[in-house]
Structure 1
Amino acid sequence: MSNGDIAGFMNNLADDVTWTFFGSHRFAGTFKGKEELVAKLFAPLGEVLDGGIKVQIESMTAEGDRVVLEARGEAKTKSGQRYDNSYCIVVTVRNGKVAQVREYLDSELVTAVFRK
């Protein structure tokens, strides 16, 4: 999605994907299905960010149907504030599609930039 290909990104998700954010911030909890993911995560991010988050994968480990990624994200809000976060993302793949995502990040930074 870093290259702006949202349609391609969404095509790689299972229709019933679950995406869980851990922590105590605006996006904490589990989103179920593509529609909820778009409505409750991607749309609000798009309202605040100028151009989305550029994600750089720093390491990746795969075993069976599970992939664990360490990544850095860089972005800027429409008001010019930096949003540079670190992520640990655990992905489960089913039938060639992303079925489950569990994402760990800096909750305080999310709250500072996106408010609760």
Structure 2
Amino acid sequence: MDNKSIVQGFFAVMNEDGPEAAARQFGTPDMVWWTPGGGEIQGQLAALSALIDKHFDVQGITLTIEGVTAEGDRVAVEARSEGRLRNGSRYANRYHWLFLLRDGKITVAREYNDTAHVNAVLGPALAGAA
């Protein structure tokens, strides 16, 4: 399987079974998953999956790949998300991901997104959960 297909598989599993399952199946044991504002979150993927289950409707969040560029061990992905929170708010973010791979596994996933949208939509839901 080429690197582009590995990353596409990562997104398919993430949509079906969540981020923890995707990292487990496609990542190295020492995979680093980085997000703006969150830093390295690989140790928090179970909590992220729980947050999605708690605050989103039964469909969760769907990530749709809009473009992929692969060169050597680097794969860049443009994607968008769609989801509805249980409070009725719509979550629709845009992403750029950079993946670094080694021996058919993801070693680094850098997830760039609109943090203002994250705070505006998820912030009130999370504040109400405290």
Unaligned runs of 5+ in 1: none
Taking the aligned partners of 1:57 and 1:44, their CA distance within structure 2 comes to 22
Q: Which residue of structure 1 aligns with residue 91 of structure 2?
A: 83
Aligned residues: CA RMSD:
1.9
Judge conservation of contact 1:85–1:109 (CA < 8 Å) in 2: yes
TM-aligned CA deviation for residue 45 of structure 1: 2.5
Q: Give me the identity figure in percent.
A: 36
Q: How does the TM-score come out when normalised to structure 1?
A: 0.81
**Counterpart contact for 1:91–1:99, Cα < 8 Å:** yes
Alignment of 1:1-116 (within 5 A): 1-2=14-15, 4-6=16-18, 9=22, 10-22=24-36, 24=37, 28-32=38-42, 36-50=43-57, 51-115=59-123
Relative CO higher for 1 or 2, CA cutoff 8 Å, sep ≥ 6? 1
User: Which moved further from structure 2: 39-48 or 88-97?
Assistant: 39-48
Take 2:56 and 2:70, find their aligned partners in 1: how far apart are those partners? 31
**Counterparts of 1:114 and 1:56, CA distance in 2:** 20
Q: Which has the larger radius of gyration?
A: 2
Deviating above 4 A after TM superposition, structure 1's stretches of 4 or more consecutive aligned residues are none
Alignment TM-score, normalising by the size of structure 2: 0.73
| Distance in 1 separating the partners of 2:107 and 2:60 | 23
Distance of 2:39 and 2:55 partners within structure 1: 20
| Per-residue CA distance 1:49-106 (angstroms, 9 max, x = gap) | 2232111111100111110000011011112210001000001112211111111111
Contiguous gaps of at least 5 residues in structure 2 = 1-13
Hey, what's the Cα distance between the residues in 2 that align with 1:93 and 1:57? 18
